[in-house]
Structure 1
């Protein structure tokens, strides 16, 4: 079995009236190359006439965002001309590349009627050779994402990227990466082998699971070694996890605000380019 190095608890970091927990980065763990950052918003219930998500227009460069909409919705708009409203069960994958401006807010319908909201956003690094690619956005609804079951339907897998037992993920990626969103019924379980040298991203969103013999509850991130081996996962209760793995890039990581580059010089250039309007024009 793949060895567990440490279990990290997500820290409560509210953003305005949005309940937010963040397990990565932390004082103990900067990143799990190439997985950089995770914000877990909710679960919470918004009333009628709410203000919705607070993420108005802001820039990004040098990385990708993967957004899992478990409850509620997100209205996405960016300076590349992409617009969508992705609802419960959907996923967004945005490649910031050389730079764009985007907003992630709630739809007018959600702000009017309110309801349950739970959303996770994961930042994935780009290697230096891809940091200045053209920006790209793909938003898929639940029924458009590759899905299959394991263990007599006790395990429901959304395969976001990569391959698993002949299934292919729904999002094309610039680098080889495996990423999934998995719902588990109490008593269900599965095993996944991790190649030697790859880093694992494993976060418990809901419920509790047993991972290689250790009981782990919601809002905890499991850090593994990179020695390769099997991960045995069993649901101690109904649960939901975000599970990925990838070979690390092993490059310098300099992150500042919304930019992730390889040097402080490139960060300074990113701020200058943004201020000079090189990330595209925002039309509100």
Structure 2
């Protein structure tokens, strides 16, 4: 079985009235190459006449964002002309590439009437050769994403990208990123095989799992060594897991705010390009 190097507890980092936990980056764990950053918002219930999500227009360059909408809904708009509202169970994949401005906010109905909300956003790096690729965006609703059933229905997986147990994911990606949301009922079991050269992204959203004979609880991220292919999982309670794996890029990573590049000169160039309008303009 693959060795678990460390189990990291997500830090509590509220944003205004939005409950937020983040297991990465922290002082202990900067990244799991090429996975850069994770914010876990909620779960919480918003009352009527709320302000919704606080993520108004802001730029990105050099990376990708994957947004998991477990509960609630999120409206996306960007300077490349993409717009969508994605609901519970859906996923958004945005390639910032050479740069764009986008907003992730709550639709008017949610702000007016309120509701339950739980959303996770994962940042994934782009290699140097793809940093300046043209931006793109795709949002899919729950019924547009393949879901498979395992262990007599006690385990199910929403296959987002790459391949999970023989099923291809819904999103075509620029790099070989495998991502799935895995749902366990108590006593559900799963044995996964991941190439040894791939780094594993393993974040516990909810519940408790035994993973390679160690307990993993909600709001914890597991850091693995690259010494074996096998990951053995058994559910102690009903659980939700964000599971991914990919080969490391092994490139310099310099990040400042919303930009992730390979050098400080490229970061400075990104800020200059944003301020001069090269990432597009924002029309409310």
TM-score clears 0.5 = yes
Aligned to 2:13: 13
1:96 aligns with: 96
Tell me, in whole angstroms, the C-alpha distance in 2 between the residues paired with 1:165 and 1:222.
21
Deviation at 1:102, TM superposition (A): 0.2
CA distance in 2, matches of 1:20, 1:63: 21
- 1:181-228, Cα deviation, whole Å (9 max, x unpaired): 111101101011111111000000011111000111100000001223
Structure-2 separation of matches of 1:90 and 1:156: 15
Question: Residue in 1 aligned with 2:256?
Answer: 256
Measure how far apart 1:8 and its partner are. Answer: 0.1
- Contact 2:146–2:169 (Cα < 8 Å) also in 1: yes
Cα displacement (A) at 1:146: 1.1
The 2-side partners of 1:262 and 1:236 are apart by 42
Offset at 1:246? 0.3
SS at 1:143's partner residue? helix
Indicate the residue corresponding to 2:48 in structure 1: 48
Q: Secondary structure at the match of 1:152?
A: helix
| Counterpart in the other structure of 1:77 | 77
d(CA) in 1 for partners of 2:235, 2:115: 27
Q: Deviations over 1:8-36 (max 9, x none)?
A: 00000000000000000011110000000
Which segment is superposed worse, 209-218 or 96-105? Answer: 209-218
1:64·1:93 contact (CA, 8 Å) conserved in 2? yes
Matches within 5 A, 1:63-142: 63-142=63-142
Measure how far apart 1:166 and its partner are: 2.6
Matches of 1:108 and 1:156 in 2, distance apart? 32
Instruction: Summarize deviations over 1:234-268 as a string: whole Å, max 9, x none.
Output: 11100000000000000000000000000000000
- Partner secondary structure for residue 104 of structure 2: strand
- Structure 1: give runs of 5+ residues left out of the alignment: none
Q: What is the alpha-carbon distance in structure 1 between the residues aligned to residue 226 and residue 99 of structure 2? A: 32
Cα distance, 1:124 vs structure 2 = 0.2
Report SS of the residue matched to 1:23.
strand
Superposition pairs for residues 12-31 of structure 1, below 5 Å? Answer: 12-31=12-31
Residue 146 of structure 1 contacts residue 159 of structure 1 at CA under 8 Å; is this kept in 2?
A: yes
Superposition TM-score, scaled by structure 2 size? 0.99
Distance of 2:97 and 2:204 partners within structure 1: 29
RMSD (CA atoms):
0.6
If the length of structure 1 is used for normalisation, what is the TM-score? 0.99
Q: Is the contact between residue 198 and residue 228 of structure 1 (CA under 8 Å) also seen in structure 2?
A: no
Match of 2:176 in 1: 176
Compute the displacement of 1:156 (Å): 1.2
- Contact map agreement 2:164 2:180 (CA 8 A) in 1: no
CA contact (8 A) 1:197 1:228 kept: no
Residues 78-119 of structure 1: CA deviation (Å, up to 9, x unaligned)? 000000000000000000000000000001111111111000
Distance 2:38 2:171 in 1: 19
